[in-house]
Amino acid sequence: MGSDKIEKILEKYFEATATEAEERTLKNYFLEGDIAPHLEQYAPMFTYFSEAKEERFTRQVPLNTRSRYYKWISVAAVALVAFGIYFGTEYQQKRALERQEAEIAYQETKKALDLLATNFGKGTQKMAYLNEFETTKQKIYNKN
Amino acid sequence: MTQSEFLNVVMPFKDKLYRLAKRLLVSSEEAEDATQEILMKLWAKNKMMESYKNVEAFAMTMTKNFCLDRLKSKQSSNLKLVHSNYSDDSSSLQTQVEAKDSVSWVEKIMEELPEQQKMVLQLRDIEEYDFDEIAELLEMKPTAVRVALSRARKTVREKLLQKHRYGIR
C-alpha cells in the first residue's frame, strides 16, 4: 500500500474518524514491517498495542462454593457458644437457687422432726408414771 | 450454572478484564487482585448470569467501576504508587533494546493519560472493540468516545515524538 494513502488514514486515525476497517489496514501496515522511513515514528504505538494484547491473566481463581459453607459453620459455632454461655449461667443460677430452697426445706423439716421428737419424749415420761403404777400393782398382787 | 460452564463463559475474556485492570491500576499485582475479585463476584452471581445478554460487556463494566473505585480510595488514603513490576528483561542486541525502549515508552505515556482516555484507547486500539461496544461498556456517548480517543492518540503521538527528539534538539 502506498505511503500517501497510509498517511491519509493516519490523519483520520488521530482524529478518531477512521472506520474500523481503515484502522485494521493501518495496523497491518505497521506490523508487517515494510514501513516508509518518515512513518517509522508511529510504529512503536502499533507495536505496543499488539504486544499489550498478549498479556495474560494466569492466576488461578478459587471458585469453591465450600468457602461460603465454612463461613456459616463458624457463624453457627459462635452462636452456639454464645447461647451456651448465656443459658449456662442462667442454669447455674437456677441450680444455686434450688440448692438454697432445698437447704431451707431441710432445715424446716428438721425443725418439725425435732418438735415431734421432744413431744414423743414428753409422752414417754408420762408413760414412766404408768410404769410406776404397774409395779405397785404387781406388789399388791404378790402380797395377796 | 456449574463451575466448568462458568469457566467456559469467562475464559475467553478474563485476559481482557486483567489488561483493563492493569491499564487503570498500573500494578500487575493489583490488577490480578482486581480481576480475581471481579471473577469471584461474577461467580457469586452465576445464577443470574444466564439472564445477562452480554456477560463480557457486563464484566468489563464491572471491572471499570471496580478499578475506578480502587483508584479513588487509594487517592484518598494517599497510596499512589505501589506497583513493583519493574522487570528487567535484558536483551543483548542494541537494536532490540532501542526498539523495545520506544515501545515501552508508549506504555509509560499511556500511564499518564486521564483514566477515561486510558480506557478508550485500551478498548479500541488494544482490545479492538468497536465504537458502539465501547460506548456501552464505558457508559459514554459515542461522540464522547471518539473525542476521548482522538485526544488520547494525539497525546501519545506528541509525547512519543518528544521522547524521540530528546537529545537531538
∠ CA B74-B76-B77, nearest 5°, is 65
Residues A96 and A130 in one domain: yes
Specify if A15 maps to a domain. yes
Specify if A66 maps to a domain. no
User: Which residues in chain A have Cβ-Cβ distances shorter than 8 Å to B156?
Assistant: 45
Residues A127 and A99 in one domain: yes
Residues A107 and A135 in one domain: yes
May I ask the CATH class of domain B94-165? Answer: mainly alpha
Best CATH choice for the domain B3-76 from the list 2.40.10.480, 1.10.1740.10, 3.90.1150.10, 3.40.50.300: 1.10.1740.10
User: Is residue B130 a contact partner of residue B136, using CB atoms and an 8 Å limit?
Assistant: no
Residue recorded with cell 437457687? A97
Residues 19-38 of A with CB under 8 A from B: 20, 23
User: Which range scores top for mean pLDDT: A60-64, A100-104, B8-12, B136-140?
Assistant: A100-104
Specify if A107 maps to a domain. yes
Q: B141 and chain A: CB distance < 8 Å anywhere?
A: no
pLDDT value of position B168:
60
Number of structural domains in chain A: 2
**Closest chain B residue to A26 measured between Cα atoms?**
B125
CB under 8 Å to B62, separation ≥6 — which residues? B38, B41, B42
Sketch the domain layout of chain B as residue ranges. 3-76, 94-165
User: Nine-digit cell at A28?
Assistant: 497491518
ipTM here: 0.78
Residues A78 and A144 in one domain: yes
The string of pLDDT tens digits covering residues A56-88 is 888 887 776 655 677 889 999 999 999 999 998
Residues A82 and A39 in one domain: no
Residues A105 and A45 in one domain: no
User: Nine-digit cell at B139?
Assistant: 457508559
How large is the greatest C-alpha to C-alpha distance in chain B, in angstroms? 62
Calpha distance B71→B84 (Å, rounded): 17
Whether A47 and B156 lie within 8 Å, measured CB to CB? no
User: Which residues in chain A have Cβ-Cβ distances shorter than 8 Å to B154?
Assistant: 14
The string of pLDDT tens digits covering residues A17-33 is 988 899 999 999 988 87
Specify if A64 maps to a domain. no
Residue B98: pLDDT band (50, 70, 90) is low
Q: B126 and chain A: CB distance < 8 Å anywhere?
A: yes
pLDDT value of position B17:
92
Helices (H), B26-93: 28-44, 55-76
Mind telling me how many Å the CA of A81 is from chain B's nearest CA?
30
* Better pLDDT: A106 or A144: A106
Q: B48 and chain A: CB distance < 8 Å anywhere?
A: no
User: Nine-digit cell at A71?
Assistant: 463461613
Residue B92: pLDDT band (50, 70, 90) is very low
pLDDT value of position A97:
94
Range of the domain at A125: 72-144
| Residue pairs spanning A and B at CB distance below 8 A | 73
Specify if A61 maps to a domain. no
Burial group, residue B137, by CB count within 10 angstroms (0-12, 13-18, 19+): buried
Closest by Cβ to A44, choosing from B105, B146, B149: B105
Whether A13 and B153 lie within 8 Å, measured CB to CB? yes
User: Which residues in chain A have Cβ-Cβ distances shorter than 8 Å to B6?
Assistant: 63
Residues A41 and A104 in one domain: no
